[in-house]
C-alpha cells in the first residue's frame, strides 16, 4: 500500500496590520534612540527592503508617525525625521508642565501604585547604553502620570510623549545629563512614595522645567514670559 506523503503546510503570511505595527515600532525605536537623527530622509523603498516587507506597511507606519509628530511629510522633500528646535521644545514642554505634575499629584492623592515607576528607575540605573536608558526614562514618566485616575489626562500626555522623547534624545546627544536627571527622578519618586502629593508635583515641575532650560534656553525664556502674562 502506497503511503500518501503529508503535504507541507504553507506558511501563513503575516497580516498587513501586524507588519505595519512591526515597522512602526522599529522606526520609532530608531528615531527615539538617535539612530535616525532629525532631518534624516525616510525612503519607503529602502525601509521596505530593510524590514523585508512591501511598501504598504511602511507607508502606513510613516503616516502614523507623522500623526504623532515624529516625522514630517512634504510634497517636495518626502518624509523626514522631524527636526527639533526651540519652538517645538517650548510647545511640547508647555503641555508637560501644565499637565504632568497635576497628573502625578492626583496619582499620589489616590494612593495609586507606583511600582512601575520604581521598576523603570531601576532599569534606567542598570542600563548599559543610551537607547536602553532613554526607553526606561520614558516609562518612568509614564508610570507617574498614568495612574492619575483620569484616562483622558493620561491619553493627552501620551500624545506628546513621543515628541518629548525626541526633544530629549537631541538634548542628550548634545549634552548628556543622565546622572543629574536620575537623582531628580529618585527625589520625585521618594516624595511620591511618602505620600507628599504637592511636594512630588513641585519636584516634577522643577525637573521638567530645568531640563528644557538647560537644553533649549530660548524656549524656557519664552515659556516664563508667557506664564508671567497669564
CATH number of 86-229: 1.20.120.530
7 Cβ neighbours under 8 A, 6+ residues apart: none
What residues does each domain of the chain span?
16-81, 86-229
The pLDDT of residue 32 is 83
C-alpha distances in Å from residue 32, one per residue of 5, 58, 95, 149, 203 = 51, 18, 19, 28, 25
Convert the pLDDT of each residue in 129-158 to its tens digit.
777 788 888 899 999 999 999 999 999 999
CA distance 6 to 200: 65
126 Cβ neighbours under 8 A, 6+ residues apart: none
Convert the pLDDT of each residue in 92-140 to its tens digit.
999 999 999 999 999 999 999 999 999 999 998 888 777 778 888 889 9
Which residues sit opposite 79 in a β-bridge?
Answer: 73
C-alpha distances in Å from residue 119, one per residue of 65, 87, 139 = 28, 33, 9
Helices 86-109 and 217-229: crossing angle, nearest 10°? 60
Which residues of the chain, if any, have pLDDT below 50?
A: 1, 3-4, 7-14, 230
The whole model's pTM is what? 0.77
CATH for 16-81 (3.40.50.11260, 3.40.50.920, 1.10.10.10, 1.10.260.40): 1.10.10.10
What are phi and psi for residue 38, nearest 5 degrees?
Answer: -55, 135
From 27, 44, 47, 24, select the one nearest 35 (Cα to Cα): 27
The pLDDT of residue 230 is 45
Residues 132/182, Cβ–Cβ less than 8 Å: no
CA distance 174 to 189: 27
Which residues sit opposite 15 in a β-bridge?
Answer: none
CA distance 68 to 143: 20
The pLDDT of residue 15 is 52
Helices 86-109 and 130-145: crossing angle, nearest 10°? 50
Amino acid at each position: 500500500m502506497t503511503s500518501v506523503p503529508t503535504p507541507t503546510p504553507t506558511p501563513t503570511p503575516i497580516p498587513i496590520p501586524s507588519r505595519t505595527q512591526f515597522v512602526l515600532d522599529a522606526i520609532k525605536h530608531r528615531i527615539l534612540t538617535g539612530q535616525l537623527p532629525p532631518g534624516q530622509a525616510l525612503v519607503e523603498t529602502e525601509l521596505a527592503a530593510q524590514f523585508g516587507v512591501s511598501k504598504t506597511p511602511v507607508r502606513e507606519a510613516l503616516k502614523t508617525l507623522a500623526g504623532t509628530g515624529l516625522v514630517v511629510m512634504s510634497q517636495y522633500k518626502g518624509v523626514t525625521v522631524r527636526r527639533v528646535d526651540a519652538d517645538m521644545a517650548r510647545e511640547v514642554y508647555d503641555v508637560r508642565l501644565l499637565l504632568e505634575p497635576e497628573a502625578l499629584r492626583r496619582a499620589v492623592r489616590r494612593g495609586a501604585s507606583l511600582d512601575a515607576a520604581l521598576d523603570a528607575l531601576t532599569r534606567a540605573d542598570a542600563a548599559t547604553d543610551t537607547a536602553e536608558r532613554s526607553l526606561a526614562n520614558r516609562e518612568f514618566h509614564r508610570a507617574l502620570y498614568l495612574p492619575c485616575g483620569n484616562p483622558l489626562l493620561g491619553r493627552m500626555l501620551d500624545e506628546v510623549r513621543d515628541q518629548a522623547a525626541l526633544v530629549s534624545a537631541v538634548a542628550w546627544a548634545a549634552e548628556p545629563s543622565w546622572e543629574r536627571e536620575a537623582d531628580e527622578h529618585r527625589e520625585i519618586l521618594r516624595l511620591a512614595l511618602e505620600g507628599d502629593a504637592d511636594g512630588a508635583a513641585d519636584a516634577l515641575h522643577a525637573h521638567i522645567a530645568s531640563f528644557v532650560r538647560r537644553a533649549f534656553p530660548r524656549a524656557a525664556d519664552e515659556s516664563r514670559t508667557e506664564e508671567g502674562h497669564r
